[in-house]
Chains A and B, each alone.
Chain A
Amino acid sequence: MLGLSAKDTRLFLIVIAMVAFAPFLMNPFPTDSAMAQFNAGYPDLMQRFVIFGIFAIGFNILFGLTGYLSFGHAAFLGVGSYAAMWVFKLLGMNVLPALALSIVLSGLFAVVIGYVSLRRSGIYFSILTLAFAMMSYALAYSVLAADMDGPDQQGMLQKGLTGGETGLQLTLSDPRVLGQSTTAEGNIPVPNLFGIEMRDATELVLGNWAFTFSAGYYIAGVIMLIAFYISIRIFRSPFGLMLQAIKTNQTRLNYTGLNSRPYTLAAFVISGMYAGLAGGLMVAMDPLAGPERMFWTASGEVVLMTILGGVGTLIGPVLGAGAIKYMENILSKINKDTLYEWFSFMPDGLEGLLVTMVYPFVGKGWHLTLGIIFMLVVIFLPGGLVEGGQRIRGLFGRKKKTETDTPDGAKSPAE
C-alpha cells in the first residue's frame, strides 16, 4: 500500500488505528473509578502525544539514521512556534498557513545551523548544536524581545519579535488581515482549520466511560500520520540507505565516491522541519510561545524520547514520546493522598512505609523515575522499548522463526 512493503504497511495501519482509536484506548478506566487518573484520553494530553511524536520522528531521522547527536533541536521547535504565532497575529487564525510558515522558517534556520555545525562530527557537533540552540534561547529571551513599537492600544505590552520572558501572546489588537482581530463576542479568535476550531470536541458517554473526540487532536493526529508515512519512505529510500551508510562508516562512503555533507545536511534540515512543524502545532493547539521551548532541557527531552522508544526504529520515537508525556502528565499528578488511598488496604505501618518508599518517584519526583528508566534502557536495552517488545515476542514466539529469513525483512530498522 502506498509504495510500502507488506511489513511497513502493517505497521502503518497499526499506527493509524492507534491514532484513530486513541480516545478509547487511552481511557480504559471508568470515569468514577480510582484508576481514572491513569486515563490519558483527554484532548490536551493526546495532542501532546502526537505533537511530540512528530518532534521525535524528525529527530530520529537525524540521530537514528546518520548517528549525529544534536543537542539543540529545541531551537527549531521554538522557531516553528514563533513563526506560527506571527501568522496568527498578522494573517489569520487558520492553522494551515501557520504550519506552512513554521516548516519553511525552521527549515531555513536548520540550513544555516546545519551548514555550520555539520562541519564537525562527534561530540563537537553535539556541542555546536547545543551552542546554537542556547544562543537562540538567549536571543528570544532578551534581544529579540526589545520593544519595537511600544505598548499597543490595549495597554498590553507586546515585546518585540518574541515577547521575551513572558512569551508571545495573541492580543485583541493583532491585525489578522485575512481574518478578524476580535470575534463578535469581543474575544480573541481561536485557531481553526477552515472553520473547524481546534478546541471543538464531542463527548461520548458509554455507561461509566466518557470519551472525548477533539478536532484539534484529530487534525494533529492526521498530520502525525503524514509525518510518520514520510519517515517510513525516507527510511526505505536510497537516501535513507546513504544516511545509514554515514552512520556505520563515513570513511568508506567517502571512498565510494560520495560527499557525505549534503546528505547529512539534508537529514538535518528535514528533521529541523519536523521540529518546526511540531512547534507550529503546539501553538495551533495552545496559542502561546515562550523562549523556554528552546532551552537545552527541551532538546534533551527529545533525545530521551527517541532513545527510550528505540533509536533508529520507525515506531520507537512515537512510543518514547508517548511514554514520557504520559509519565509527565499522569505520574506527576499522583500525590501523597492518592498513595494512601491505594495502600489503604494494608496494615498501618506497612502502608506508611510503602507510601514513603513510592512517594519520591511520583508527583514532583517523576523526573527521578524518568532518569532511572532512561538509565536502565541505555544500559540493558539499547534498542529501547521496541527492542524490549521484540525480546518479549522472541520469548513467546520461538516457533515462528521462519519469519526472520524473509528476503527484504532481515535488516536493522525493523519496526
Chain B
Amino acid sequence: MGILEIKNVGKRFGGLQALSEVNLSVAENTVHAIIGPNGAGKSTLLNCLVGKLIPDTGSVTFQGQSLLGRKPHEINQLGVSRVFQTPEIFADLTVMENVMIPCFAHRDGAFKMNAIGSVATQGDIKTQAEAILEDVNMLDKRHMHASSMSRGDKRRLEMAMCLVQEPKLLLLDEPTAGMARADTNNTIDLLKEIKEKRDITMAIIEHDMHVVFSMAERITVLAQGTPLVEDTPDNIKGHPKVREAYLGEAQV
C-alpha cells in the first residue's frame, strides 16, 4: 500500500477523454516520476491530485484518506505540497516573508486571526524560516525582494516554502521546464539533497528525460490518458512501448 493510491481515475473534458483507468501507487519515501508525451494527461492527473480538478471516476487516497472533493488548501494541510511549472511565490514580499507565510499556515492550520501580534516577535517562526533558508543556501538573500531574484533562485525559494511545512508528499510539475542546462542540473542536485536529508516522497511530472533518469526510482509512462508501463528507470530505458509512444510524438 503506497502513500498515494490512484485507482481507476478517469476525467473527460467535453469530447476529450483526458484520463482513463489510471491506476498508480506511489510508495512511501521514493521518487516516482510520471512521464509521457505532450497531451498524455500528466497535468490533468496532477490537477486531480491537488484538488483543482475532480475526476469523473475512480478514487485518489493519500495515507488512506480520500482526496476527492477536498479543496487545494485542505489537501495541503494533509501533507501534500506542490511545486509549479513556473515558480509561484509572493513576488511583492521579501524572501524571509515568503517562507514565513507557509510557517504560519502550517502552525495555525485553518483561519486564525492573529491581527495584533507582530510578525517581528514570532521567534519560533523566524527560526524555522531561517533554518530552511539555510538548508537551500538562501539565508544571505533573506531580505531581498522575491521579484528581483533569478528564476533559479525563485525555484529554490518555492521549494523552501514547500519544505518548511514538512510535507509527506511533494508534487513537482515539470520543475525544470524552460531552464538552462546548468540551472536544471542545480535543481536536480537540490532535489537530491532534499531527498537525502529527510523522509519525503516525491512525485515528479516531467518531460525532460535527463531529470527523470538522474533521480527517479520508479517511472510511470502515461500515454493518451492511461498508464502504459510502470517500472524502474533501467527497465524503462529500452522499453519498446515507451519508444513507440515517444517516437509517435516525434513524427507528429
Q: How far is the CA of A355 from the CA of B130 in the complex (A)?
A: 63
Q: How far is the CA of A234 from the CA of B113 in the complex (A)?
A: 10
Contacts of A257 in B (CB 8 A): 73, 76-77, 102, 105-106, 109, 165
Q: Which of B50, B88, B104, B111 contacts A241 (CB 8 A)?
A: B104
Closest Cβ–Cβ distance, residue A309 to chain B (whole Å): 19
Q: How far is the CA of A249 from the CA of B71 in the complex (A)?
A: 17
Contacts of B101 in A (CB 8 A): 241-242, 245, 253, 256
A5 interface contact, C-beta 8 A: yes
A410 nearest in chain B by CB position: B143
Convert B102-116 into 0s and 1s, putting 1 for each residue whose CB lies closer than 8 angstroms to a CB of A: 101110111101111
B94 interface contact, C-beta 8 A: yes
Contacts of A4 in B (CB 8 A): 118
Q: Which of B72, B89, B91 contacts A254 (CB 8 A)?
A: B72
B121 nearest in chain A by CB position: A3
A252 interface contact, C-beta 8 A: yes
Q: Which of B105, B118, B122, B143 contacts A256 (CB 8 A)?
A: B105
Contact, CB under 8 Å: B115 / A254? no
Q: How far is the CA of A248 from the CA of B117 in the complex (A)?
A: 22
Contacts of B143 in A (CB 8 A): 405, 407, 410
A32 interface contact, C-beta 8 A: no
Contact, CB under 8 Å: B165 / A239? no
Within 8 A of B (CB), among A105-137: none
Binds B, one of A197-205, A259-267, A359-367: A259-267
Q: Which of B72, B89, B114, B165 contacts A249 (CB 8 A)?
A: B89
A412 interface contact, C-beta 8 A: yes
A233 interface contact, C-beta 8 A: yes
Contacts of B114 in A (CB 8 A): 237-239
Contact, CB under 8 Å: B118 / A3? yes
A255 interface contact, C-beta 8 A: yes
Closest Cβ–Cβ distance, residue A261 to chain B (whole Å): 8
Contacts of B111 in A (CB 8 A): 258-259, 262-263, 266
Within 8 A of B (CB), among A252-293: 252-259, 262-263, 266, 270
Q: Contacts A255-B76, A258-B73, A263-B111 given; indicate if A237 touches B118 (C-beta within 8 A).
A: yes
A53 interface contact, C-beta 8 A: no
Q: How far is the CA of A119 from the CA of B85 in the complex (A)?
A: 27
B50 nearest in chain A by CB position: A255
B93 interface contact, C-beta 8 A: yes
B92 interface contact, C-beta 8 A: yes
B32 interface contact, C-beta 8 A: no
Interface centre among A238, A242, A248, A270 (most CB of B within 10 A): A238
B104 nearest in chain A by CB position: A238
Contact, CB under 8 Å: A255 / B93? no
Closest Cβ–Cβ distance, residue A383 to chain B (whole Å): 13
Within 8 A of B (CB), among A34-66: none
Q: Contacts A256-B102, A263-B111 given; indicate if A233 touches B118 (C-beta within 8 A).
A: yes
B156 interface contact, C-beta 8 A: no
B155 interface contact, C-beta 8 A: no
Within 8 A of A (CB), among B59-99: 71-73, 76-77, 81-82, 88-94, 97
Q: How far is the CA of A270 from the CA of B109 in the complex (A)?
A: 22
B120 interface contact, C-beta 8 A: yes
Taking residues whose C-beta sits less than 8 angstroms from the other chain, chain B's interface range is: 35 or more
Q: How far is the CA of A233 from the CA of B120 in the complex (A)?
A: 11
A404 nearest in chain B by CB position: B143
Closest Cβ–Cβ distance, residue B49 to chain A (whole Å): 12
Q: Which of B50, B94, B104, B113 contacts A411 (CB 8 A)?
A: B94
Interface centre among B73, B76, B106 (most CB of A within 10 A): B73
Closest Cβ–Cβ distance, residue A74 to chain B (whole Å): 24
Contacts of B228 in A (CB 8 A): none
A236 interface contact, C-beta 8 A: yes
Contact, CB under 8 Å: A255 / B73? yes
Closest Cβ–Cβ distance, residue A72 to chain B (whole Å): 23
Q: Contacts A257-B76, A407-B143 given; indicate if A241 touches B97 (C-beta within 8 A).
A: yes
Closest Cβ–Cβ distance, residue B47 to chain A (whole Å): 12
Contact, CB under 8 Å: A249 / B119? no
Within 8 A of B (CB), among A223-247: 233-234, 236-242, 244-245, 247
Contacts of A244 in B (CB 8 A): 90, 92-93, 97
Within 8 A of A (CB), among B121-139: 121-122
Convert A1-26 into 0s and 1s, putting 1 for each residue whose CB lies closer than 8 angstroms to a CB of B: 00111000000000000000000000
Closest Cβ–Cβ distance, residue A103 to chain B (whole Å): 16
B161 interface contact, C-beta 8 A: yes
Q: Which of B76, B90, B104, B110 contacts A248 (CB 8 A)?
A: B90
B159 interface contact, C-beta 8 A: no
Contacts of A185 in B (CB 8 A): none
Q: Contacts A238-B104, A241-B104, A257-B105 given; indicate if A233 touches B116 (C-beta within 8 A).
A: yes
Q: Which of A256, A270, A410 contacts B161 (CB 8 A)?
A: A256
Q: Contacts A236-B119, A256-B165 given; indicate if A412 touches B93 (C-beta within 8 A).
A: yes
Q: How far is the CA of A258 from the CA of B76 in the complex (A)?
A: 8
Closest Cβ–Cβ distance, residue A386 to chain B (whole Å): 16
B100 interface contact, C-beta 8 A: yes
Contact, CB under 8 Å: B73 / A233? no
**Could you name 18 residue pairs across A and B whose Cβ atoms are closer than 8 Å?**
A233-B118, A234-B115, A237-B115, A240-B119, A241-B100, A241-B101, A242-B101, A244-B97, A248-B92, A249-B88, A249-B90, A254-B76, A255-B72, A258-B105, A258-B111, A259-B110, A266-B115, A405-B143
Binding site for B on A (CB under 8 A): 3-5, 233-234, 236-242, 244-245, 247-249, 251-259, 262-263, 266, 270, 405, 407-408, 410-412
Knowing that A4-B118, A241-B104, A255-B72 touch, tell me 9 more A-B residue pairs with CB under 8 angstroms.
A237-B119, A239-B114, A241-B100, A244-B97, A247-B92, A252-B88, A257-B165, A258-B73, A408-B120
Q: Which 9 A-B pairs have the closest CB atoms?
A: A262-B111, A257-B76, A239-B115, A248-B92, A252-B88, A238-B114, A248-B90, A257-B105, A257-B77
